[in-house]
Structure 1
Amino acid sequence: MAKLKLRGKDLIAIGFPQNKAISIAMESMLAHYKRETKERVLVLLKEVLANPEKFMGDGVFGKTVEALLSDKKKEAQKLNATRAPHTIFGENGIADVAKEQLYTALKLPIAHSGALMPDGHSGYGLPIGGVLATENAVIPYGVGVDIGCRMCLSVYDISPSYLEGSKDKYVNILRNHTKFGGREIHDNLNDHEVLDRDEFNTIPFVKKLKDKAYKQLGSSGGGNHFVEFGVVDVPANDEVFNLPEGRYVGVLSHSGSRGLGANIAKHYTNLAMKQTPLPQEARHLAWLDLNTHDGQEYWLAMNLAGDYASACHHDIHKRIAKALGTRPLTTVENHHNFAWKEVVEGKELIVHRKGATPAQKNVLGIIPGSMTAPGYIVKGKGNDLSLNSASHGAGRAFSRTKAKQSFTKSELKTVLNDHGVTLLGAGLDEAPMAYKNIEQVMAQQTELVDVVGTFMPKIVRMDKE
């Protein structure tokens, strides 16, 4: 069947107003009804025109309805002259460019309050380590490209001595049961209930991403993502962590929502930049109003991507547990690059945490260092000044490009040997020297979290082995 031939004058002829509703309707029809006849499509559009409220929130016709009901020209948004209230933790260790990014975000007309964590460094939109509370609006680049990126730690009742005495076994488990980057997929793919979610059927853009999401389930991204064996130290029994004092083998993974999240971030960022154009210095902070079709659609897609990221970690840890032949004693999981609906000063707001993690009272999390530095198992203190947040790691001291220029493979090898770490994969951009001192970062957030245990990496797998 020939491709649908639909023109603006066809829509005008059936009663469409001569505004943006025409272009939106034509784009939607060509995307979803391109093999239908023009007559059939016009019948559908007449129905939408006659009863637009019936199609509010519809995956195909929702945006057309919004355009029909509101013919407001999108004018460039102006930034406020003053910043919303904020607190910066570890300010002296954060580059000015990252602080300036937060200051710009705090001038958005939707900004309520913000914070910057001690691992802060520059990013797109919000800085990494940035926290921003907004009123009824979500910023796709305030969430980040790798939606729902997270840490997951499984703790096993295995003596850490086995990591050295049976090193080959643990190296092979990582080589055989983890996959990284854009090309590696598991030979035996697993199903997961997240793949049955309605969003894969009701959101047309997301529907196109399902096949790739299925193939990438249980895999990790490139860059700073990893799966590693290490030693978990619990100095004393904590009533929240609830693991007896002792030393254990742990599996720690760091990864996100893979291609699913990246595509969602790109698509809705482009929509946001069209709908809320901003001055050049703030263009990546464009937002979606949660009262709009696109805002609601992004919110659903973002939550789907976050749950998918969690499913990937669970699949990774399930595969490793099976290879170990035992079950974990406990698991700790937390995520960043996300937005939550939370009550701040008695009002429900959208709290963005880009490279920052939730740290509400007694909420557990894991804050990693580098591959030769400890990670910290923590519980939150619920500090209002940080918007109940903490850092998501040590944070970069060198950009990827600068790290490649500054360090050599020989230096990396020496550092790894000095710390007794076996590395599978990774480039110089992930050298431990490229990261801030995690102990200093932790010292700068004692108001935010209590430490209940540590994780020291011993066998690390990353991309590019």
Structure 2
Amino acid sequence: MNGKHITKLGFENRAIGLAQQAASVREQAGLGRTEILDELRTVQAAPERFAQGGVYAELAAELLTQRAALKSSANAALRETPLPYGVWGAELIDAGATEQMDVAMRLPVSRAGALMPDAHIGYGLPIGGVLATENAVIPYGVGVDIGCSMMLSVLPMPAGGLERDEARKLLLKHTRFGAGVGFEKRERMDHPVLDEKTWQDQGILKFLHAKAAEQIGTSGSGNHFVEFGELKVEGSELGLEPGEYLAVLSHSGSRGFGAQVAGHFTRLAEARHKRLDPAARKLAWLGLDTEEGQAYWQAMNLAGRYALANHDQIHARLSRALGERPLVQVSNSHNLAWKQEVGGQELIVHRKGATPAEAGRLGLIPGSMADPSFVVRGLGNPESLSSSSHGAGRQLGRKAAERSVSKDEMQGYLRERGVTLIGGGRDEAPQAYKRIEEVLARQTDLVEVVAEFTPRVVRMDTGNQDI
């Protein structure tokens, strides 16, 4: 663990050295970088919990001292106490995520919020957090993978109409995964999003256009996936006859383009709020009445359209290879900000790992690589700002999953459920996630299930070999 990792979290001055010292002790205890960073975020969000003793006590004391100094200045900015907000499935949510949401609700620009049952700790706003602000947008309230989204294509084929080995070959041939990965130039498909004039409106967009063109139609690493499976339809919500259909489900985002946009505008926001309480440093905002705020809004929405374009191409390639046209497609973004009326006022609603769930709107809530995913219809609950969970949500960090879930346990879980996996590591094992059925049970007032998808052949990053 080096100073760069610590500084990125927003620690300053003496706190950097103290955080490094504590991190070194935790490394010696066997913890990995990701887990240590998660612990440091928790200390940063609520130092009073750690000030009485333990490895983080000295760091916590320094953070409390810094916070007191900031409160005495005119630039401290945060409210004394958080605004009230709704929480769904509180017993499923770790304390660190709640503490992060409390900090977000103390921002002077915050007006309303909600925490979904799949919530867990993240940078700035917790993953699973929904935050409404007035005339302000928070880059880390949207997240690094701007426009991260889901898409489902229902094909005019019976659920068992595609052999497992053929599905595996199609995914290997027509999908790409991983950082920096793209199709060969001769294999790339055109998409209108790459021809938008928006790319010429900002220097950073001009610079990143080539990267976006190289990576169009591909997926990142981590929990991104493309999978064939069975969609069970019982009602008429999708305009289909009841039955079981072959379907393709994908989870992907805006690739390196969106990540660089997020980093660039986060730095601009932090520069505008240098005296912001360290606990809220990653929640630095840009006013929509500023040039930087308008530039981020434009870039964010372009990244959202680009992310959906990636899905368009993934599904088009697979549908074309099968010689079929989808009967129905459903998609939604779950890392984006929207202008939305809340209590009669137009606010900016950030959903960082949350699905839009306006009344009647269809959306997708995935489980894990071997658990079902669901097509849902929003109920438009104003208490959640018309939002629902975006998935099952992690219950184990990546390093913790690698340590506690064995290869045999992961393979056994997949085998019991009849899932063939291409790529994917133990950091994404189903055991690392909350049970999707429990998460859905906590939000029956937010969405209702209209169809269930069961994965059969799944592709993720980490190579082309089955685990």
With the length of structure 2 as denominator, give the TM-score of the two structures.
0.82
Aligned AA for 1:108?
L
CA distance in 1, matches of 2:130, 2:236: 31
CA distance in 2, matches of 1:438, 1:401: 21
Contact 1:85 1:112 in 2 (8 A): no
Q: Quote how far apart the aligned CAs of 1:237 are.
A: 1.9
CA distance in 1, matches of 2:398, 2:433: 10
CA distance in 2, matches of 1:161, 1:192: 32
Q: Quote how far apart the aligned CAs of 1:198 are.
A: 2.0
CA distance in 1, matches of 2:416, 2:164: 17
Q: Quote how far apart the aligned CAs of 1:359 are.
A: 0.1
SS in 1 for 2:269: helix
Residue 387 of structure 2 corresponds to 389
Q: Quote how far apart the aligned CAs of 1:90 are.
A: 0.4
Contact 1:142 1:352 in 2 (8 A): yes
Q: Quote how far apart the aligned CAs of 1:194 are.
A: 0.8
CA distance in 2, matches of 1:170, 1:205: 39
Residue 425 of structure 2 corresponds to 427
Aligned AA for 1:447?
D
Identity over aligned pairs, percent? 53
SS in 2 for 1:376: strand
Contact 1:218 1:314 in 2 (8 A): yes
Q: Quote how far apart the aligned CAs of 1:183 are.
A: 4.1
Equivalent runs, 1:368-447 vs 2, <5 Å: 368-447=366-445
Contact 2:180 2:215 in 1 (8 A): no
Q: Does 1:160 align with 2:153?
A: no
SS in 2 for 1:379: strand
Contact 1:77 1:276 in 2 (8 A): no
Aligned AA for 2:460?
M
Q: Where does the alignment leave 5 or more consecutive residues of structure 1 unmatched? A: 1-73
Aligned length: 388
Q: Does 1:260 align with 2:272?
A: no
Deviations 1:4-52 (A, max 9, x none): xxxxxxxxxxxxxxxxxxxxxxxxxxxxxxxxxxxxxxxxxxxxxxxxx
Residue 449 of structure 1 corresponds to 447
Aligned AA for 1:461?
R
CA distance in 1, matches of 2:169, 2:371: 23
With the length of structure 1 as denominator, give the TM-score of the two structures.
0.82
Contact 1:75 1:276 in 2 (8 A): no
Contact 1:88 1:118 in 2 (8 A): yes
Deviations 1:64-87 (A, max 9, x none): xxxxxxxxxx97342001222310
Contact 1:154 1:250 in 2 (8 A): yes
Q: Does 1:214 align with 2:213?
A: yes
Equivalent runs, 1:8-407 vs 2, <5 Å: 76-163=75-162, 166-187=163-184, 188-238=187-237, 241-277=238-274, 278-407=276-405
CA distance in 1, matches of 2:352, 2:337: 8
Q: Quote how far apart the aligned CAs of 1:347 are.
A: 0.3
CA distance in 2, matches of 1:243, 1:96: 42
Q: Where does the alignment leave 5 or more consecutive residues of structure 2 unmatched? A: 1-72
Contact 2:124 2:283 in 1 (8 A): yes
CA distance in 2, matches of 1:242, 1:360: 19
CA distance in 1, matches of 2:216, 2:441: 36
Contact 1:111 1:134 in 2 (8 A): yes
Q: Quote how far apart the aligned CAs of 1:421 are.
A: 0.2
Aligned AA for 1:372?
A
CA distance in 1, matches of 2:195, 2:426: 39
Aligned AA for 2:409?
E
Deviations 1:345-390 (A, max 9, x none): 0000000000001000000001000111111100000000000000
Seen in structure 2, the aligned counterparts of structure 1 residues 137 and 183 have a Cα distance that, compared at 3 Å, is: closer
Who wins on radius of gyration, i.e. which is larger?
A: 1
CA distance in 2, matches of 1:148, 1:77: 31
CA distance in 2, matches of 1:175, 1:203: 36
CA distance in 2, matches of 1:453, 1:332: 11
Contact 1:334 1:357 in 2 (8 A): yes
Contact 2:180 2:256 in 1 (8 A): no
Deviations 1:265-295 (A, max 9, x none): 0000000001123111110000001110000
